[in-house]
Each structure stands twice: as structure tokens, then as C-alpha cells.
Amino acid sequence: MIYIKDLMSGLPIFKALSSEVRIQIIELLIRHSAMNLNELANELNLSNGAMTMHIKKLEESGIIQINSTVGKHGIQKICYLNEDKLLIDMRNNDKENLYEVEIEVGHFSNYNALPTCGLATKDSIIGDFDDPRYFADPERIHADIIWLSEGFLEYRIPNYLKSNQTFKEIQFSMELSSEAPGYNNHYPSDIYFYLNDVEIGKWTSPGDFGDTRGNFNPDWWPPHLNQYGMLKLIRITNEGSFIDGVRISNISLEQVQLDYKSDLTFRIACPEYSLNKGGMTIFGKSFGNYSQNLLVRVLYDVQR
């Protein structure tokens, strides 16, 4: 999912979508999953030069991804859709009534991990594969990718509200996938989310993706391991809880009972009782397809 937090930041995407030809390219990629430049040009009856220009705009906006591969007639550029959803937040929020924090994925405050599991920084694996003891290693704060087949990661979120302010909405954005041995694009996993130990809902990851290399993976990361995830946006509001705009439960901020004195903890879990026991992988800034860590956004009201 591509999440546009405000209209101005979405200008490159809006410009990319302002062309009927580029909309047709997206529709073809939805239908065929992947096509090379020649196939797209022939399908739309365009010259290779014109197609290259349109593809460049779509790639710069982040809508599509291009990988080079060796074919019968030399190097071919294969085009894929980066994500299958676009979410635009059009609410005119007062910038003074929110704050954002970015938490590195290795900065978890509590955990439980069962193999297959592990952590890695942008430079190397931390400890050994499938040894949960290394989740307590001091080096884990530098982790940029973490995976486990069962268990949880819990993060402490700073609460900066004052006594005359009340929570309006809390958002969490992160790149996630399942966790299969090696990788498996069809490996469903139920991933649950908790705010202050209150279960707010779950998302079923369709797989542990490894068909193409993640955009930000370091060169040393092995090709036979998971490569990227899906960007998910979780929102807890006064009306309920949502993921990518779809309601996942009726749990509201009022039910979590938060105020300016509250500790805030966010847990991502693959519990033993899950129907689809596929584990989870969380990607930080140096891995996957999105150069971001766990992003948290808190919106609040001010009592006059």
C-alpha cells in the first residue's frame, strides 16, 4: 500500500496518474503481473521512446518497480506494480495537533521468539540463525530486519500529551510479511496487533516474499531469504480500528482508556492460537521495498 499522508506530499503520484496512457499501463500490469517495455509498447501501440518516458514517471512516483533481466535478445526491463493499494488521507489536520516518531525495529522493549527466527543489521546477521538468545543481544538495537515463526515484538511509544490534551487517533505504519523457511510467496500468516495489551485486530499476510530482490536490501543479503513485505497502516480512532482503511475491529481509543499519563505499548504478535501460523518479518530502513522503520503518528484534541 502507498500511503499519502497529505495532498502536497502526493503530488508526484498525482502527476503520474494524470495521463490516460499511464493508467492503461497500470491496468495492464494489474492484469498480467509483469511485462517488459516492448510488450507494453506493442500493447498500447507506442514507440519505445514514448513508453520509456511514461515508465520513468511511474517509477519515480513509486507506483511501479523495474528489474533488469537477461532475455533472448539481451537485457530486458521488467515492470511490476509496487503495491496494489493507494490510500490518500484528505483530512485537513492541524499540524500543531499531532506528533510523529520513528522507531527502529530493533528498539523493541519486550519479545518472545521461536525459530525460525533471527535479526540482522544492514551489515550482518546478529549471532546465529534460529537462536532466540540473540534477541537479548545489545547489538539488537541496530537490527533492521527481524523475523520469527511464533511470538511477539513489543515497542514503547512516547506519550507527549499534556493535561489539557486528549487522544484522537493513533497510527502505525510498517512493512510486514510472513516468515517461511527460506521464502514462500504463498504462506499465509495471521499477525495480531495490540495497544496496551488490548487486541485491536489482525491482518493475514499472504506470504513471505522472495521472488524479486527488495529495493533497499544490502548487497550481502542472501537471495534465498525473504526480500520484502507489504506496507500496512493501522489506525485506532474513536470509531474503531482499521488497517489500510478497512475496519478490523470495533475497539476504539475510549476502550483502551488512554490519557496524558498513560504508558503506550504496541505489540505485533503471531500467537500460538493463530489459525494461519506463518510467523512474521518486520523490515526496517535498510531492508525491503520501503526505506522506513516503525512510524507512529499521534493525533490529539486540545481542550479549551
Check pLDDT > 80 for residue 204. Answer: yes
Question: What pLDDT score does 177 carry?
Answer: 97
Q: How far apart are CA 162 and CA 258, in angstroms?
A: 12
Please enumerate in sequence order all residues whose Cβ is within 8 A of that of 11, keeping only pairs 6 or more positions apart, or say none: none
pLDDT in tens, 206-251: 999 998 899 899 999 999 999 999 999 999 999 999 999 899 999 9
Q: How far apart are CA 226 and CA 50, in angstroms?
A: 35
Residues for the chain: how many in total?
Answer: 304
Q: How many CB atoms lie within 10 A of CB 74?
A: 6
pTM for the predicted model, two decimal places: 0.76
Question: What pLDDT score does 85 carry?
Answer: 73
Taking a C-beta distance cutoff of 8 angstroms, is the pair 226, 183 a contact?
Answer: yes
Question: What pLDDT score does 1 carry?
Answer: 65
User: What number does CATH give the domain 2-81?
Assistant: 1.10.10.10
5 band by pLDDT with thresholds 50, 70 and 90: low
User: CATH 1.10.10.10 residue ranges in the chain?
Assistant: 2-81
Which stretches of 134-263 are assigned E, i.e. beta strand? 145-157, 165-177, 189-195, 198-205, 230-237, 241-243, 246-249
Alpha helices in the chain, H assignment, sequence order: 11-16, 20-32, 37-44, 48-61, 253-256
Q: How far apart are CA 108 and CA 141, in angstroms?
A: 8
pLDDT in tens, 258-286: 999 999 999 999 999 999 999 999 999 99
Please report where in the chains the cell 489482525 appears, as a residue: 202
Q: How many CB atoms lie within 10 A of CB 206?
A: 16
Question: What pLDDT score does 178 carry?
Answer: 97
Q: How many CB atoms lie within 10 A of CB 42?
A: 13
CA–CA distances in Å: residue 78 to residues 70, 295, 296: 10, 31, 34
pLDDT in tens, 133-160: 999 999 999 999 999 999 999 999 999 9
User: CATH 2.60.120.260 residue ranges in the chain?
Assistant: 93-302
Question: What pLDDT score does 284 carry?
Answer: 97
CATH number for domain 93-302, candidates 3.55.50.30, 3.40.640.10, 2.60.120.260, 2.60.40.790:
2.60.120.260
Question: What pLDDT score does 11 carry?
Answer: 78
| Percent above pLDDT 90 for the chain | 73
